[in-house]
Amino acid sequence: MRTARGSLYEMPPHWGSDDWPPFAHYAEIGYMMPVKSPSEGLAASFEEFEAAYEAGGFWMGIWHPFLTGRLARWRVVERWLERIVAERKVWFASLEDIAAHLDGLVKAGTYQVRVETLPYFTQPVS
């Protein structure tokens, strides 16, 4: 996204890689979903990874410490991560490192990103 003040890369998450739908259960906010077992709840995220890996794409897991950070859930993630790192050529990195890598590719001219110029509108739309 480009603005008069600068630009940034958007790396949008996806519900399929998010631990909120299978694990969040909060009566305080009226979110009353059945909580899934660790392996069942994390299966969607792992399958999203597989699809992104096969396509050579970007995958971002969203794991909240208070949801997936629970011992049984994190044990499933830890075992999955160990297997993926041992069997695949992958790069797990912070979003800051990914943005820096992407910026380097763009500056080198080896990758072109779609640019959205903001704001879309500079005056009211009639």
Please write the tens of the pLDDT for every residue from 86-99.
999 999 999 999 99
Q: Are 113 and 9 in contact (CB under 8 A)?
A: yes
Q: Which domains does the chain have, with CATH numbers?
A: 2-108 (3.20.20.370)
Please write the tens of the pLDDT for every residue from 13-26.
899 999 999 998 88
Please write the tens of the pLDDT for every residue from 89-126.
999 999 999 999 999 999 999 999 999 999 998 889 88
The number of angstroms, rounded, from the C-alpha of 100 to the middle of its chain's C-alpha atoms is 17
114/18 Cα distance (integer angstroms): 25
- Is residue 62 helix, strand or coil? strand
- pLDDT surpassing 90 at residue 48: yes
